[in-house]
Copies of this chain bind each other. A is one copy, B any other.
């Protein structure tokens, strides 16, 4: 992730120093692994950088139970030790496996963060106003896993790892009774909990009679809505608190909750979740990047041209148009098109395209390589006061997997990984590693899922030879931070 916002970082950390050169075009191709502590983002980039980074205290997930010495080793860009929860300590809920490794020097600290919790939700009593059985007021539990891939600073990822599940809990409080009641959710709740509940029935006649029917809303879609609004509120909290609490940068968020038999996978960014079930791969997320969200971004730039600040054009070109091409016809596509056509170049087509580049080098406003994230409220176009946040969405896409619809064996797993894993590992390679590692352990050995997470991280990181972190096939491994959760869907300890 870090390479993808290098320009932004350079801008942010040099706020008090000399202005950086105006990088209107995307940063140069990342050469993984770069020299440790790249000047753009590392502490070598001058006093302002050091000051900015010093504000945020470095931490790793508490479930790693790192001693001060362990924290130093986890922070070592040269050794890149793979970290997992200690085998001797309390195991993660649901026998979850976890492993992580720091990047190869692209930022001072590991900007990934993670959280794994069992969360109890106490319902607000009599939310619907109706009298209920006392047992229904006893609350709900959900299992929660979150991966947060930070960029342009670690503050947002750290804050999200501490607080996002609390926002989800808060959103679910109103739903505790409703979710446990098999009847369809009420359309309307009283404004004050405990007040008499309104009737759902429409009055006879009147304009309401013209509405053909009332749309049915499922319990599942209430949970989805709760997760969506929790992401929004988390993002709003980051906006309010960003000055007082060092919420620097932004983060992609990949979150899983297990509630009442269903697994909800919420993704905002370019992390990825897949289920490997009986060797079959079931995608549980998709990545949100300038390429996958090109049309949303272009439409916004088209409808709100003031957001482009006269510096960018919402049209896409295969490369930046040159002044000498004025009047000639050049390939382009606009927000309505998936194909390409030729257009006659006018003066405003010479502006920098809102969306440019391909694959990992694709950028919004020549700056950021993901289009959904939490935070990023201070992110500006390099050497400009133009905010990028209006183009970024904090809303996740939520996919639902009904765990009760399939009988799972101990080798069926849900894998969550930040882009450091997926940049160099295909879904099929992950599935092969799942098979290889899990078959080497007894099915009831609870350490097998952490071993699998470690194998996935090691396989993506490579080994330190030939001036780079090399994979067995001699390709370069990922120089990025890598974090992986392995959630068993049918193994020992599941559903416990």
Contacts and interface: CB of A to CB of B under 8 A. Distances in A.
A376 B340 CA distance: 26
Task: Among A214, A223, A333, A337, find the residue whose CB has the most chain B CB atoms closer than 10 A.
Answer: A337
A190 B328 contact: yes
Contact of A338 (B322, B325, B393, B398): B398
B338 A208 contact: no
A340 B212 CA distance: 20
Interface in A204-244: 207-217, 220-229, 232
B336 A225 contact: no
Contacts of A395: 336-337
Interface string A340-384: 111010000000000011100100000000000000000000000
A86 interface: no
Interface residues of A, number: 71
Interface stretch (A18-26, A407-415, A424-432, A439-447): A18-26
A134 interface: no
Interface stretch (A57-65, A161-169, A181-189, A251-259): A181-189
Given A24-B207, A228-B339, A333-B225, A361 B212 contact: yes
Task: Among A303, A342, A361, A395, find the residue whose CB has the most chain B CB atoms closer than 10 A.
Answer: A342
A300 interface: yes
B232 A319 contact: no
Contacts of A171: 341
A212 B360 CA distance: 11
A225 B341 contact: yes
A89 interface: no
9 contacts: A174-B342, A187-B319, A188-B328, A188-B329, A190-B328, A212-B361, A222-B341, A336-B395, A339-B398
